[in-house]
Amino acid sequence: MKAVSESVINFIKINKVMFIALLAAAVTSVIVPPDREYLGYFDFKTLTCLFCVLAVVCALKNVNFFYVLAEKIVESFKTARMSILALVYITFIGSMLIANDMALLTFLPLGYFVLSASKKRRYMAFTFIMQNIAANLGGMLTPFGNPQNLYLYTKFNIPVGEFMTIMAPPFCLAISLITLCCFVFVKNEPLKFEEEKLSLEPKKTALYLVLFALAIVIVFRGIPYWIGLIVIPAVLFFVDRKALKMVDYPLLLTFVFFFIFAGNMARIGAVREFFSALLEQSTLLYSVISCQFISNVPSAILLSQFTTNYPDLLVGVNIGGIGTLIASLASLITFREYTKHHPHHAMYYVEYFSAFNFAFLAIMLAFMFFIKAL
């Protein structure tokens, strides 16, 4: 009985945001009782795309695809500075392809392995923080790089070219700032670590890459989303059921609960008037502020009900993912991974994390207001 209680408590701790979303949905459902309009709350294409991408990424992870790819890149560099920069860049690029949460779950362990094996643990907090910032800001360029991107891309039916044009300026600034930090805060000292060779299963890897391509085509509206919902789970059921079990279902449920919460909030007159007035003043600023308190994904879902200014909202909920520890689910993943290895350094990490994140946020927000003023 005690073991069950501890498991439940740990599950709640790990999935705090999901339970907050559940509570928010439940409270607003008392104010706006369930009816037929609830069915219009859910963006089934977003949920399907997110599920398909997560499932295929889990399958690729199970055959060590991302680990082997990253390992081959990292072993090409011989200094601490360039290796850490490579780790951060891999996370940055990975977030563009496999979403920020999955990029961190995939590449944070690699960062820990590299720094532990090379006895450079003093760079652990810095590397994790840079990987976290890279995951949050790297994913902003593509519609499937961050969950909130996928939602807004689908909700407002944003053309791919326009989407990438909107996000290009903050994306380029993010690359520059991350690179500068790695050069300033990491010494150019020799790095040596024992290689851990992992092999791939060619047939499975090829199959999963085809499924990944299918998921991406669905995201880009190349084929109907329901095809992916049938094909991808069916293939994985026979080839890798473990991947289906590994999918971040609490993240999907978080979306479901926030769809209910946001839909209900949009039907409350006083709330609609309040948020509409704020977003008319500055969609960019208030979307960033919202992220600091309720995270970027729920901010995107909630605020999208009150504005049609999707360019500013899109930028706001992306750069707003940096800042506080709860501004992004990805940041909580990184914090959890760091404290797993350094349980007594939690406060040190939070202070270090806050210093870098708020500095990045201030620079990027000022830059975007400058761009808007031109």
| Domain layout of the chain by residue ranges | 15-373
Encode pLDDT of 240-286 as tens digits: 999 999 888 887 888 788 788 878 887 888 877 888 888 889 999 99
**Concatenated DSSP letters of 363-374:** HHHHHHHHHHH-
Token pair recorded at residue 10: 């740990």
**Contact assessment for residue 174 and residue 131, using Cβ atoms and an 8 Å cutoff:** no
Between residues 120 and 205, the one the model is more confident about: 205
Q: Report the pLDDT averaged over residues 340-351.
A: 86
The residues, ordered by sequence, that sit 6+ positions from 222 with a Cβ below 8 Å of its Cβ are: none
Give the per-residue pLDDT at 221.
Answer: 67
Judge whether residue 195 has pLDDT over 70: no
Which amino acid belongs to residue 259? F
Give the per-residue pLDDT at 196.
Answer: 61
**Contact assessment for residue 292 and residue 327, using Cβ atoms and an 8 Å cutoff:** yes
Give the per-residue pLDDT at 354.
Answer: 96
Q: 370: buried, middle or exposed (CB in 10 Å: 19+, 13-18, 0-12)?
A: exposed
Question: Which three-class secondary structure state does DSSP give residue 191?
Answer: coil
Encode pLDDT of 78-121 as tens digits: 788 998 999 999 899 888 877 787 788 778 888 888 888 777 88
Q: Is the dihedral of CA 199, 203, 208, 209 positive or negative?
A: positive
Instruction: Give the mean pLDDT of the chain.
Output: 86
What single DSSP character describes residue 322?
S
Between residues 298 and 227, the one the model is more confident about: 227
Judge whether residue 366 has pLDDT over 90: yes
Dihedral pair phi/psi, residue 269, rounded to 5°: -55, -50
**Concatenated DSSP letters of 202-259:** HHHHHHHHHHHHHHHHHHTTSS-HHHHHHHHHHHHHHH-HHHHHHS-HHHHHHHHHHH
Where do we find the tokens 């499932």? 55
The residues, ordered by sequence, that sit 6+ positions from 72 with a Cβ below 8 Å of its Cβ are: none
The residues, ordered by sequence, that sit 6+ positions from 309 with a Cβ below 8 Å of its Cβ are: 279, 283
Name the band, by pLDDT with cuts 50, 70 and 90, for residue 182: very high
Of 222, 132, 130, 223, which is closest to residue 177 (Cα–Cα)?
130
Please report, rounded to a whole number, the percentage of residues in the chain having pLDDT higher than 90: 37
Give the per-residue pLDDT at 274.
Answer: 83
Inter-axis angle of helices 160-185 and 310-319, to 10 degrees? 30
Question: Which three-class secondary structure state does DSSP give residue 350?
Answer: helix
Judge whether residue 233 has pLDDT over 90: yes
Dihedral pair phi/psi, residue 305, rounded to 5°: -80, -15
**Contact assessment for residue 86 and residue 80, using Cβ atoms and an 8 Å cutoff:** no
Q: Using CA atoms, how far apart are residues 71 and 68, in angstroms rounded to an integer?
A: 5
Q: Which of 20-34, 287-301, 350-364 has the highest mean pLDDT?
A: 350-364
Q: Which ranges of the chain does DSSP label H, i.e. alpha helix?
A: 2-14, 16-31, 44-62, 65-74, 80-98, 100-117, 124-138, 147-155, 160-185, 202-219, 225-239, 241-246, 249-266, 269-294, 296-303, 310-319, 329-341, 346-373
Judge whether residue 1 has pLDDT over 70: no
**Contact assessment for residue 247 and residue 55, using Cβ atoms and an 8 Å cutoff:** yes
Please report, rounded to a whole number, the percentage of residues in the chain having pLDDT higher than 70: 95
Name the band, by pLDDT with cuts 50, 70 and 90, for residue 70: low
Encode pLDDT of 4-44 as tens digits: 777 777 777 777 767 888 898 899 999 999 998 888 888 78
Q: What is the dihedral of CA 100, 103, 107, 112, to 10 degrees?
A: 30
119: left (phi over 0), alpha (psi -120 to 50) or beta: left
Q: Using CA atoms, how far apart are residues 277 and 275, in angstroms rounded to an integer?
A: 5
Encode pLDDT of 129-173 as tens digits: 999 999 999 889 888 778 889 889 988 999 989 999 999 999 999
What is the pTM assigned to this prediction? Answer: 0.77
Token pair recorded at residue 120: 């450079």
